[in-house]
């Protein structure tokens, strides 16, 4: 069973035609199941979560100001329409939620307003500073201590898993994307995360986007972390993080074998 558990509609309209391009790509790649989603910053209801980021840096303000969020209802109309169609493979529908501990009250409310097949919690910022943008070196990586950033990142992840808001945790070691490595051994951290993921019954992603989108030598989650997750019997979800139809299923066959 081949699943691509993380596919974005970000670069196109919320339309049946656009979704079908992903479905066709999935069929071509020989996949059995697609999990389609988009970032919470696409939707107006989540806008208050991004105010702190906009205030924290002018780079971030400029980036978010270019977005034109739309109501969640548009997405759910599309989901309902697609669920009535006969499709050549199984499609599930969800969101990739940009998680920060202070957003919990808003998330509880907004996520409960509609049903989802899955919800992915992902950390994209550390205390209001994005770590995965071209400008992140200037505002974060070259300013703060790398070890402190790793400690805080995994502290937020533990909080996110314990929130029980999510069925899946996105790209769990993506902090490595620009090659800033901590000086301490992360095995104890990985074990804490693995125990929490098992206890709260969430999938941990093996996400190949780090490899082909950020050119990191790892194909997905690092082998030390993966080995610990398996040892703790945590469920693993294979994911491409595709942002265009051409990337659906990218390296999924390779990581599914691991
Ligand atoms: Zn993400
Ligand atoms: Zn993503």
Residues forming beta bridges with residue 46, ordered by sequence position: none
Cα 237 to middle of ligand 2, angstroms: 13
pLDDT in tens, 111-131: 999 999 999 999 999 999 999
pLDDT tens by residue, 183-242: 999 999 999 999 999 999 999 999 999 999 888 999 999 999 999 999 999 999 999 999
The pLDDT score that the predictor gives to residue 30 is 97
CA distance 187 to 94: 31
What's the confidence (pLDDT) of residue 215? 87
Tens-digit pLDDT profile for residues 24-54: 999 999 999 999 999 999 999 999 999 999 9
> What domains does the chain contain, in order, with CATH numbers?
3-256 (3.20.20.140)
pTM of the complete model: 0.97
Distance 241 CA to ligand 2 centre (A): 5
Task: Calculate how far, in angstroms, residue 56's C-alpha sits from the geometric centre of ligand 2.
Answer: 23
Q: Which element (helix H / strand E) includes 95? A: strand 90-98
CB-based contacts of 30, cutoff 8 Å, min separation 6: 2, 249, 253
Cα gap 123→53, rounded to integer Å:
13
Separation of 41 CA from ligand 1 center, angstroms?
11
Compute φ and ψ for 61, nearest 5 degrees.
-60, -45
pLDDT reported for residue 67: 92
Average pLDDT score over residue span 54-58: 97
Return the pLDDT at 180. 96
For residue 243, give the ligand nearest its CA.
2
pLDDT at residue 213, rounded to an integer? 87
Average pLDDT over residues 146-151: 98
Quote the mean pLDDT of the chain. 97
90-111 pLDDT, tens digit per residue, is 999 999 999 999 999 999 999 9
């Amino acid at each position: 069973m081949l699943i691509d558990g993380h596919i974005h509609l970000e670069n196109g309209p919320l339309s049946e035609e656009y979704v079908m391009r992903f479905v066709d790509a999935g069929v071509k790649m020989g996949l059995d199941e697609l999990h389609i989603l988009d970032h919470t910053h696409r939707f107006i209801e989540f806008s208050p979560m991004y105010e702190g980021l906009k205030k924290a840096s002018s780079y971030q303000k400029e980036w978010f100001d270019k977005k034109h969020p739309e109501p969640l209802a548009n997405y759910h109309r599309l989901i309902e329409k697609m669920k009535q169609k006969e499709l050549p493979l199984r499609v599930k529908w969800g969101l990739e939620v940009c998680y920060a501990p202070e957003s919990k009250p808003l998330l509880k409310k907004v996520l409960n307003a509609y049903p989802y097949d899955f919800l992915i919690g992902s950390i994209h910022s550390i205390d209001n500073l994005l770590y995965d943008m071209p400008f992140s070196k200037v505002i974060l990586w070259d300013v703060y201590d790398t070890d402190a950033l790793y400690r805080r990142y995994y502290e937020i992840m533990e909080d996110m898993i314990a929130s029980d808001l999510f069925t899946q945790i996105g790209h769990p070691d993506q902090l490595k994307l620009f090659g800033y490595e901590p000086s301490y051994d992360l095995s104890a951290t990985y074990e804490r995360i693995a125990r929490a993921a098992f206890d709260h019954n969430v999938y941990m992603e093996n996400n190949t986007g780090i490899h082909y989108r950020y050119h990191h030598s790892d194909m997905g989650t690092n082998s030390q972390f993966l080995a610990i997750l398996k040892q703790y019997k945590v469920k693993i979800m294979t994911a491409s993080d595709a942002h265009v139809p051409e990337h659906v299923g990218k390296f999924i066959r390779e990581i599914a074998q691991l």
